[in-house]
Chains A and B, each alone.
Chain A
Amino acid sequence: GAVVSQHPSWVICKSGTSVKIECRSLDFQATTMFWYRQFPKQSLMLMATSNEGSKATYEQGVEKDKFLINHASLTLSTLTVTSAHPEDSSFYICSALRGDTQYFGPGTRLTVL
């Protein structure tokens, strides 16, 4: 149990376009999900906490207008990278909270050309 999926697993887009990444908890409900970013050979950096039915809480230095988070249901949170630029290229990972344990998705690799 406690499976989290992400879609797509990888995406390539042109600079200036927007990309949406989905995070789903498949076999449990999650009122709280988290979005992380991981650069090559670096650790996971928390971007924001996504709360079902309310606004996301962003970490310091993360632009909320650039990284739009929507947590419209108890099993789905989406991260939209707006007006993507090459520096947004990264590995984006979500997690869903069940109890007090985070369960992680497989990640989405975003490449912005």
Chain B
Amino acid sequence: AQRVTQPEKLLSVFKGAPVELKCNYSYSGSPELFWYVQYSRQRLQLLLRHISRESIKGFTADLNKGETSFHLKKPFAQEEDSAMYYCALSLSGGYNKLIFGAGTRLAVHP
């Protein structure tokens, strides 16, 4: 069965510290992974996707098929990064359905 696991409900760091939000997936097909972010009182928005291989707001994520992981990283956290982060798996076959992880709340303290 398809599943996305985010083991940490809360990640609390100080400003300037490195951040790694973990995401593991289970899927027999060809995975397409996303990170979505939800800032306080705002809608869910796409942060980045693995096929783009880009850095958004200083965040990067690399798909590791061997470890079935797609961890989100940022070398120096900022207070404005505080938000809820969701890892999502898109099923292949043109369905574009997203399977979301439980989410990790990132709290960046001054």
Contact = CB atoms under 8 A, between A and B. Distances in A.
B is a partner of A: yes
A93 interface: yes
B103 A43 contact: yes
B102 A42 contact: yes
Interface residues of B, number: 18
A58 to B, nearest CB: 12
Nearest to B38: A104
B103 A97 contact: no
- Residues of A contacting B: mostly: strand
A100 B103 CA distance: 22
B102 A34 contact: no
Contacts of A101: 46, 49
B96 to A, nearest CB: 6
Contact of B100 (A43, A106, A107): A43
A103 B43 CA distance: 9
A11 interface: no
Nearest to B42: A106
Contacts of A32: 96
Contacts of B90: 100
Interface string B84-109: 00100010000111111111000000
A104 B43 contact: yes
A46 interface: yes
A105 B44 CA distance: 8
A101 B44 CA distance: 12
Contacts of B68: none
24 contacts: A4-B43, A32-B96, A34-B98, A42-B102, A43-B86, A43-B101, A43-B102, A44-B86, A44-B98, A44-B100, A45-B100, A46-B98, A49-B95, A49-B97, A93-B43, A93-B44, A100-B90, A101-B46, A102-B46, A102-B96, A102-B98, A104-B36, A104-B44, A104-B45
Interface of A: 4, 32, 34, 42-46, 49, 93, 95, 97, 100-107
Given A95-B44, A102-B98, 9 more contacts: A34-B98, A42-B102, A43-B102, A43-B103, A44-B44, A100-B90, A100-B96, A104-B36, A107-B43
